[in-house]
Amino acid sequence: MQATSRTQGTVERISALFLRRRTVVACIIAILMTCFVAGYYVQVTVTNLRSTHQSLNDRQLRNGYIAISDLHRLVLIIQEAAVRGKMSDEAVADFRAASDFLFVRMDTFRRIQSRGDFLKEADDAIAALRRAQAVADDAIANDFRDLDADAAALIEHTQIAREALVIYLDRMRQLQDNLLFGQTAAVENQRTVVWVILLGLSVLGIAATTLLRKEVMAKQARQAAEERVRHLAFFDPLTGLPNRVQFQDRLSELLAQKTALALLLVDLDGFKQINDTYGHAAGDDILRHVAAALGPYRTPDGGFAARLGGDEFAVVCISEDIPLLSQICDDVIAAIADPIVFEGEAVGVEASIGLATKTQIGRQVAHTVDGLTRVADFALYASKSNGKRQFTIYDEVLEHQFLERRAMVEELPQAIADGSLDYYLQPKVDMTTEEVFGFEALARWRRNGVIVPPSAFIGIAEESGLIADIDCSILSNATRDIANFNLCHGTSFSISVNFSTLHFSSLKFVETVKHALLASGLQPDLLTIEITETAEMQDWGKAKQVVSAIHDLGAKVSIDDFGAGFSSLAYLRTTVADEIKIDRSLVQDIETSDTSRFLLDAVLDIARNLGLDATVEGIETRRQADIVLEMGARKAQGYFFSRPMPRDDALAAAMTTDQPLLQRPAS
């Protein structure tokens, strides 16, 4: 194992080296230099060989010529002595020396000859030299007694030896030359072959080095791509935080190991608005800012933060200490709320958190990622529903509420279709004539034998987008029923229908109203659409277009719950509504509080000045009715006159004329 990893390490180090252009250039230079040195060495060898042959040849020839001159010297010395008739001591010494030199020469020839092929010419020459030498030795041995005879014998043998020597040298030169030329040619051929091989090796070496570099680069690119794919599979590219896949893997590992563990689900409030208002670049900056705020919760014991998608984040803490976790939630909310600067402008976002611990889910829910996420989700949902920018700790009540809401969302479409989601009517009374002049349609849901009030399902319907179906269904049913009733009984009851502001600004809504009026045949001025201003309703420009389109149809628009929530005088001045419905909260204390009375009076006054109709809601007592009447209000609605009732009961009661409404006891 170790050896394999060491080998891998070495391969990787070499690969890294070959990624550098300098390494490749150095390799190519090394190959070229090696080839050059090898070629140069071959060239030098060839030259050496040639000069060695040359010098050998020269030596042989020199030896031969010197031997000839030695013979010549012997002959000259003895000839001179013969002419003088005697050998002087000096001549004897010279003769001896020349004879010795000749001997040495002869020995040299013999040694050279013994190394190579035996040449007949060489043998002849050596034999002739020997004989000449023997004659010289005899002359020396006889002390040159017969100089003429010695000279004649020496000249004869010297002549023979010289001729044999010349023949030998000639033959020798021939052989040497042949050898020299043959070998030199062979070596030169070899040199050419070596040069070609070296050139080929150089080209191969350069090609191999280049290919190796390419291969290493491709491998690295492949590795980088694989690394990137691996990173993308487990990390969110925008924030660098672990993604949902990694979150699930790590959390399920932690759930198996750790006893104490908590999950914080963090969801941004109003992130969509930031994208819509400042653009996606600002949205991205905000998400990075959130990731930075969650960064510190990556702890050595395994705690980490992740982005689960969109504006959803999670923090996993290795603790179940509720005070500590609550502090973390507060810190996270505060850190996220810290605004960022985008294009010179401060942009801020808020967050809601759902918190659940592993022990909390101990008994009811399985110890799985889904189990823990689901309960933390209930808590998050509660944070959102309770006003956002807060954290909620999971408990079973929350879960029950959540499941109930979810069941409602699932059942609502069927309820709308089969009529179990219906409406009640609450009379609107003209206090001066004490007569019912119209009704408000209020949604009711007959669910499992129980009548469910709108407060239990309107919010859910708004969240799930089902509210438009509910409103349209009640609009068409109520207009149809009232139109039929008016037609049958010759009455002119008006009908007010509530509409959620979530879809009020859509022009499609105008088509729905038009269709309801046409289908029912109701006189358009008997229809009033009640809307409540909310924080969500921001596009009042569009809403005003819708209001005038409704006016064009002949119907009216009423601002509901005026005095509660978001309605304001400033808004009243700009609106083109026909009526305000004064909220119950402005009425409930008028019997006991001067301030309340003063406030209600002022609101009625303003409505009159603006030419708006006013209906006072929530009259529960006779005294309240009297006070409101004294203030000059004409139209009212409340339990004192009648609670909302099933349609037929409400219509039947309105037709009872034997007792004025104001005298009737409240039901």
* Least gap, CB of 529 to ligand C2E (angstroms): 10
Minimum CB distance to ligand C2E smaller for 27 or for 474: 474
Query: Smallest distance, Å, CB 458 to ligand C2E?
Result: 5
Rounded distance between C-alpha atoms, residue 275 and residue 272, angstroms? 5
User: Segment 497-516, which members bind Mg ion (CB under 5 A)?
Assistant: 498
Query: Which of Mg ion, ligand C2E, none does residue 377 bind (CB under 5 to 8 Å by kind)?
Result: none
Choosing among Mg ion, ligand C2E, none, which partner's interface includes residue 436 (Cβ < 5 to 8 Å by kind)? none
* Minimum distance, C-beta of residue 423 to ligand C2E, in the bound complex (Å): 6
**Contacts with Mg ion, 437-476, as mask; x by CB under 5 A:** ----------------------------------------
- Token pair in block for residue 147: 């100089």
Q: Is the Cβ of residue 169 or residue 441 nearer to Mg ion in the bound state? A: 441
User: Minimum distance between the CB of residue 349 and ligand C2E, rounded to whole angstroms?
Assistant: 29
Closest to ligand C2E by CB, 77 vs 478, is 478
Polymer length in residues for the chain: 667
Stretch that binds Mg ion, among 85-93, 211-219, 464-472, 530-538 (CB under 5 A): 530-538
Count interface residues toward Mg ion (CB under 5 A).
5
Structure tokens at 540: 């009042």
Closer residue to ligand C2E in complex, CB, 563/644:
644
Backbone angles phi, psi at 642, to 5 degrees: -170, 140
**Burial of residue 418 (number of CB atoms within 10 Å: 0-12, 13-18, 19+):** exposed
Which residue's CB is nearer to ligand C2E, number 324 or number 519?
519
Query: Which CB, 398 or 497, lies closer to ligand C2E?
Result: 497
How many C-beta atoms surround the C-beta of residue 463 within 10 A? Answer: 15
Q: Which is nearer to ligand C2E, 133 or 498 (CB)?
A: 498
The number of beta carbons lying within 10 Å of the beta carbon of residue 142 is 12
- For 472, the token pair is 């349209």
Contacting range for Mg ion; rule: CB under 5 A; set: 30-38, 129-137, 214-222, 495-503: 495-503
CA distances for 249 relative to 240, 246, 254, 256, 590, angstroms: 17, 5, 9, 11, 62
Alpha carbons 191 and 199: distance in angstroms, whole number: 12
By beta-carbon proximity to Mg ion, the closer residue of 533 and 617 is 617
Site string for Mg ion, 607-626 (x = CB under 5 A): ----------x---------
Q: Residue 182 binds which entry of Mg ion, ligand C2E, none, with Cβ cut-offs from 5 to 8 Å by kind?
A: none
Q: Which does 572 bind (CB under 5 to 8 A by kind): Mg ion, ligand C2E, none?
A: none
| Partner interacting with residue 422 (select from Mg ion, ligand C2E, none; CB below 5-8 Å by kind) | none
Task: Indicate which single residue of 70, 311, 561, 579 sits in contact with Mg ion (rule: CB under 5 A).
Answer: 561
State the Cα–Cα distance between residues 565 and 158, nearest whole angstrom. Answer: 150
Q: Which is nearer to Mg ion, 49 or 458 (CB)?
A: 458
Burial pattern 573-590, b for ≥16 Cβ within 10 A else e, equals: eebebbbbbbbbebbbeb
Rounded distance, CA 238 to CA 608, Å? 57
- Buried b or exposed e, range 177-211, using 16+ CB within 10 angstroms: eeebeeebeebeeebeebeeebeeebeebeeebee
| Cα–Cα distance, 373 to 108 (Å, whole number) | 109
From the CB of 532, what's the least distance to ligand C2E, in Å? 6
Residue 241 Cβ, how far from ligand C2E at the closest point, in Å? 40
Residue 453 interacts with which of Mg ion, ligand C2E, none, CB < 5 to 8 Å by class? ligand C2E
Q: Which residues of 356-365 are buried (b: 16+ CB within 10 A; e: fewer)?
A: bbbebbeeeb
Provide the edge-to-edge strand list for the sheet that holds 262-269. 304-309, 312-317, 262-269, 350-357, 391-393
Given phi > 0 = left and psi -120 to 50 = alpha, else beta, which region is 270? left
- Residue 530 is a binding residue for Mg ion (CB under 5 A): yes
Contacts with ligand C2E by CB under 6 A lie at 426, 442-443, 453-455, 458, 467, 470-471, 474, 498-500, 530, 532, 560-561, 584, 617-620, 637-639, 644
Rounded-to-integer distance, Cα 519 and Cα 7, Å: 85
Contacting range for Mg ion; rule: CB under 5 A; set: 28-36, 126-134, 160-168, 493-501: 493-501
Which residue, 158 or 637, has its beta carbon nearer to ligand C2E?
A: 637
Binding site for Mg ion (CB under 5 A): 498, 530, 560-561, 617
